[in-house]
Amino acid sequence: MQQVADYITEEKRKVLEKELADLKGAKRKEILESLAYAKSLGDLAENAEYHQTREDQSKLEERIAKIEQILQSSQVVTGGGGDIVEIGSKVVVRKEGKQDNKEKQEEKTYVIVGSEEANMAEGKISNRSPIGLALFGKKKGDKVSFQTPNGVVNYKIIGVS
């Protein structure tokens, strides 16, 4: 079972919709006002404020387009909860193989999310990352291997929720 679509959670969809509304409303208005002020300063060729505002406007429009694209092309999913690893699943894994005496076999918990929500500091890994791809579609007790810059890593799935 391989995933091909981009996925976002309902929570992320709401955050993106709120950001989009803010960008299209207040932020866009703010930039247009700054642009009008910068134009009033005169000569546009040597008007740094005008050029900076135009650059800000360009970045704003790019972000709006990106959010609209994400919302249009992404499939909203609810959290996992089943026995099989999917978007929204919380997966507990333990590293397998050769262990140093100092390194105990510690368990790690990850949540599988779409690439827009990935955040290693929060334990949220992308379904498109090497470990996300390896875990996707597996279940408790399965062993997975994936390539990292430091070589192949082997994990055993301890739990899925």
pTM for the model stands at: 0.67
Alpha-carbon span 64 to 21, nearest angstrom: 9
In the chain, the percentage of residues whose pLDDT exceeds 90 is 35
C-beta contacts of 146-153 below 8 A and 24+ residues apart? 153/95
Contact in structure between 146 and 131 (CB atoms under 8 Å)? yes
Q: Residue 62: its pLDDT value, please?
A: 96
Neighbours of 5 (CB within 10 A): 11
Average pLDDT of the chain, as a whole number: 86
Tokens of 113: 């999310």
Q: Is the pLDDT of residue 104 over 80?
A: no
Residue 91 confidence (pLDDT) above 60: yes
3-state helix, strand, coil in the chain (%, to 5): 40, 25, 30
Please, are residues 109 and 91 in contact by the beta-carbon 8 Å criterion? yes
Domains contained in the chain, CATH given: 6-77 (1.10.287.180), 90-160 (3.10.50.30)
**pLDDT above 50 (res 1):** no
Whole-angstrom distance between the N-terminal and C-terminal Cα of the chain?
A: 18
